[in-house]
Amino acid sequence: MRTDYLFTSESVSEGHPDKVADQISDAIVDLFLSKDSEARIACETLTTTQLVVLAGEIRCKGVYENGEWIPGAQDEIEATVRRTVKEIGYEQDGFHWDKFEFINRLHGQSAHIAQGVDAADNKDEGAGDQGIMFGYATDETPDLMPATLYYSHKILERMAADRHSGAAPFLEPDAKSQVTLRYEGSLPVAATAVVVSTQHAPGYDEGDKEAALHAYVKRVVSDVIPPVLLRETEYFINPTGSFEIGGPDGDAGLTGRKIIVDTYGGAAPHGGGAFSGKDPTKVDRSAAYISRYLAKNVVAAGLATRCTIQLAYAIGVSKPLSLYVDTHETGTVGDDKIEAALLAMPKLGGLTPRAIRTHLSLNKPIYRKTAAYGHFGRKAEGDLFPWERLDLVADLKALLG
């Protein structure tokens, strides 16, 4: 296993056009789950200059029943979309929460998909689609996430907080970051490059204002990344120059185009399916969450310093087709023994879609907050981010420690 190398991950802010789309889609998921915990949602969003379009398939009591919209439901959907964009902070000529055109093309779920997913008679609930899902954990950071992605997220989270609070009024919502770390002996020892591109108010691309913006970004980086890693860092701050036109006005946004930002920054595989806009019967989402949960608990239990887990499903089938564990030659017990232990845990219910939703309590309106700054490495608090809990550690130690 290679131990000395350079590795890079990127993040994008809540105002990035693709992230605007993700947050709108997940706000719709939350809206429907707040009315019907068994709602079925597949909501895709397109954002561009003064336009938001929703498309997809739904089934939800109190919103869309028997092929018809419940009176007032479409108005509530539009209000949810506009409120989401307002909270992000878009009040620009090219994209304004109160002025963009809104088109709703959501419609009823296919009966053929429903018959494969829904439980009936002696048939358990099946997976909402075929697919492979991955989870990952590493001891590089306290949150058991890859350090490159961890720092990339934290830089943009801090800048967004300063923008919202008024501490950095020159910032606009759209931004990207990228962090390159040098690893020696599999440990991060230096940040060799940091890239930050941020949308800004007019005039902050030259003279004293540009210098102030650059100085601000460097202060944020120094607050986020430990100083010991910043001794040889090369900075690239708005390397193309002016960045006044951004967000959906500068580039169209679509749900599900930032799946590597959403997961592990390229440090682990991704099965291909996006998360946002999908209710938890879709294993693209729920099985990716349980895979992270399992991998994180394996590392936290001291069974490995790195762990990748893959799950695979077939549409309409409840039992997973496979469970694969890879501890990358860092495990204290055999990977096959970890696999057997996870499948045998009664509380995990054989990792069927229903068992996953039940164990993690996923049928709740908890998804809007997942749609910016990563679905993983977040704080499990109340109903939020239950897949970040470490409540399997004691079980794993008892079985394998």
Catalytic residue among 10, 18, 30, 249: 18
Catalytic residue among 40, 82, 153, 278: 278
CA dihedral 386, 340, 273, 27 (to 10 degrees): -10
Catalytic residue among 32, 95, 243, 275: 243
Q: How far is CA 80 from CA 26, 49, 73, 233, 262, in A?
A: 10, 19, 11, 42, 23
Indicate if 18 belongs to the active site.
Answer: yes
Indicate if 282 belongs to the active site.
Answer: yes
Indicate if 170 belongs to the active site.
Answer: no
Assess contact for 97 and 78: CB atoms under 8 A: no
DSSP strand E in 109-202: where? 131-138, 171-184, 187-200
Assess contact for 150 and 378: CB atoms under 8 A: no
Indicate if 257 belongs to the active site.
Answer: yes
What 3-state DSSP class applies to 261?
Answer: helix
What is the DSSP track for 81-93?
A: HHHHHHHHT-B-S
Catalytic residue among 114, 190, 252, 380: 252
What span, in angstroms and rounded, lies between the C-alpha atoms of 213 and 226? 21
Indicate if 252 belongs to the active site.
Answer: yes
Catalytic residue among 10, 14, 16, 125: 16
Assess contact for 129 and 74: CB atoms under 8 A: no
What 3-state DSSP class applies to 166?
Answer: coil
Indicate if 339 belongs to the active site.
Answer: no
What span, in angstroms and rounded, lies between the C-alpha atoms of 277 and 42? 5
Catalytic residue among 282, 292, 306, 368: 282
Catalytic residue among 40, 153, 200, 258: 258
Indicate if 383 belongs to the active site.
Answer: no
Catalytic residue among 40, 154, 200, 257: 257
Catalytic residue among 244, 251, 380, 397: 251
The residue type found at 47 is: T
51: left (phi over 0), alpha (psi -120 to 50) or beta: beta
What span, in angstroms and rounded, lies between the C-alpha atoms of 97 and 56? 22
Indicate if 57 belongs to the active site.
Answer: yes
Catalytic residue among 284, 326, 335, 388: 284
Indicate if 38 belongs to the active site.
Answer: no
Catalytic residue among 7, 35, 55, 57: 57
Catalytic residue among 44, 172, 326, 395: 44
Indicate if 93 belongs to the active site.
Answer: no
Indicate if 347 belongs to the active site.
Answer: no
Indicate if 395 belongs to the active site.
Answer: no
Strands 101-108 and 5-12: unpaired
Which residues are catalytically annotated?
16, 18-19, 44, 57, 176, 243, 251-252, 257-258, 278, 282, 284
